[in-house]
Amino acid sequence: MSNPDTTDPVEKIYPVPSLLALGLQHVLVMYAGAVAVPLIIGSALQLPKEQIAMLVSADLFCCGIVTIIQAVGIGNIGIRLPIMMGIAFTAVPSIIATGTNPELGMPGVIGAVIGSGIFTLLAAPYFGRWVRFFPPIVTGTVMLIIGLSLMRVGVNWAAGGQPMIRGPEGMIPNPAYGAPFALAVASIVLVAILLMTRFLKGFLSNLAVLLGIGIGFAIAVAAGKVSFSGVGDADWVQIIHPLAFGWPIFEFWSIFSLCAVMTVMMVESTGQILAVGDMAGRKISQEDLARGLRTDGVGNILGGILNTFTYTTYAQNVGLLQITGVMSRWVVATGGVILILLGLLPKVAFISASIPSYVVGGAAIVMFGMVSATGVKILGKVDFANNRRNLYIVAVSVGLAMVPVVADRIFDQLPQALERFLHSGVLVGTFAAALLNILFNGIPVKEPDESELKNGAAAPDAV
């Protein structure tokens, strides 16, 4: 570890109480999303309650391990930046499709997760060479798109859940969606965060999101809207047993489907890693990016072995970095330790899981909005005055990315492979931004990496 008084914000080490509070804030920011994925998948696969609880605990445990690997680093794995890793929403449709196949089930899901992790681990170094295709005009646009795309998730959380839920006869309208109480609490959380950010100073200001969530949770408990069912029946300590569903089934098409999803997530992770590097004042090299993306692959391999799913950079925590300005990777590593403990302590995990979605939703609106604001900040470095073509890159990329967000069934009649591609607004927007940048500004020049400079490489060559 470095000197706690270092001027490098990434290496700054806070006192233990501050580390715990700031780390807990990161955990609460990503907790609802992390827990939602195993709950959704477990429900879709009609798993018994005990197995769903195991998925939740395994997910939190693995989130912590992968986060520590990303923040602290092991050899050529881990980017050593304040990046929180969590379970990915993007992979849910593919995982459910595999798990509902009676010939595959959860063993097929685990096999696909491990297979996609191996693919990601092998592809990461080559993907890192594409970093030159993500200059500020592309990175800023992608971050803007990610924030806008996530806003629907945050709004649904604030409204009390998804507008449609699974009933006895299929999908039915959610009667709790948009309940006045949920909207009121989400609004109180939002306003509380803004007021504390405005009037609190120093360390307390950095805890605005955590304190806002705490206020909303207290209101929900006082109103009798929080259920603590399952806490009494849960064990105090639960050890995560590897391969609890049996030996994995490695089926080609399920692995191929999840590898395609991981390609999408590597594109998303690239934009977020570059954005965190920009906020932290770090230039991200090809090898840096490769180390960060390798963590996604290692996360999937560990996730499969430990009975959970796919892992990626969490955008809401990127937004939290922008809100607080706390860039210490040791804060995020502390959050990883807290997640590991939550995975081993089911009673604590049950209590944390009792936080209603609308409480987190009020904070999510701020955080997801800050992700978009980070994109705007990056775009502030782009020359729009002397190069008006850059305006077209942003305008068309954002427009195309919003198509599946505002009209989610528009591509339903297209072939499945094409529909899967077009249904991801982030993927469409990222490809559009990168290709339009090539169209209007030419193929980016390849800059020599550190290893090339040490070997006496000349000036960058045009490609």
Residues 6+ apart with CB under 8 A from 206: 22, 25, 324, 325, 326
Structure tokens at 92: 């849910």
Q: CA dist 273 to 1, 14, 64, 146, Å?
A: 22, 23, 18, 13
Instruction: Tell me which residue of 360, 325, 247 sits closest to 10, measured CA to CA.
Output: 325
User: What count of other Cβ atoms lies within 10 Å of the Cβ of residue 76?
Assistant: 11
What pLDDT shows up at residue 3? 47
Question: Residue written as tokens 């090898």?
Answer: 287
Instruction: Tell me which residue of 147, 86, 87, 160 sits closest to 362, measured CA to CA.
Output: 160
Q: Name the range with the highest mean pLDDT among 5-14, 67-76, 362-371, 423-432.
A: 67-76
Mean pLDDT within 268-280: 84
What pLDDT shows up at residue 384? 92
Query: 3-class SS at 302?
Result: helix
Query: 3-class SS at 209?
Result: helix
What pLDDT shows up at residue 324? 79
What pLDDT shows up at residue 347? 75
What pLDDT shows up at residue 420? 64
Q: How far apart are CA 149 and CA 423, in angstroms?
A: 12
What pLDDT shows up at residue 93? 65
- How confident is the model over 129-149, as pLDDT tens digits? 776 777 889 888 888 887 888
What pLDDT shows up at residue 230? 67
Answer yes or no: are the C-beta atoms of 283 and 139 closer than 8 Å: no
What pLDDT shows up at residue 452? 47
- How confident is the model over 236-268, as pLDDT tens digits? 777 888 888 889 989 887 888 788 778 767 877
Q: What is the DSSP letter of 132?
A: G
What pLDDT shows up at residue 207? 74
Between 372 and 194, whose confidence is greater? 194
Mean pLDDT within 174-185: 89
Answer yes or no: are the C-beta atoms of 258 and 94 closer than 8 Å: yes
- Position 349 confidence tier, pLDDT thresholds 50, 70, 90: low
Mean pLDDT of the chain: 82
Res. 226: pLDDT tops 70 = yes
Res. 2: pLDDT tops 60 = no
Res. 458: pLDDT tops 50 = no
Half-sphere exposure of 348 (CA within 13 A, CB side): 15
Residues 6+ apart with CB under 8 A from 448: 457, 458, 460
Q: What dihedral angle (degrees, nearest 10) is formed by the CA atoms of 117, 241, 248, 424?
A: -40
Burial grade of 55 (CB within 10 A; 0-12, 13-18, 19 or more): buried
Q: How far apart are CA 310 and CA 66, in angstroms?
A: 11
Between 390 and 42, whose confidence is greater? 390
Predicted TM-score of the model (pTM): 0.68
Instruction: Tell me which residue of 80, 455, 119 sits closest to 288, measured CA to CA.
Output: 80
What pLDDT shows up at residue 49? 66
- How confident is the model over 10-64, as pLDDT tens digits? 888 888 888 898 898 888 877 766 776 786 677 667 777 677 778 888 999 999 9
Structure tokens at 238: 């639960």
Residue type, 9: P
Burial grade of 315 (CB within 10 A; 0-12, 13-18, 19 or more): buried
Rg, Å, the chain Cα set: 22
Res. 84: pLDDT tops 70 = yes
Half-sphere exposure of 329 (CA within 13 A, CB side): 22
What pLDDT shows up at residue 323? 78
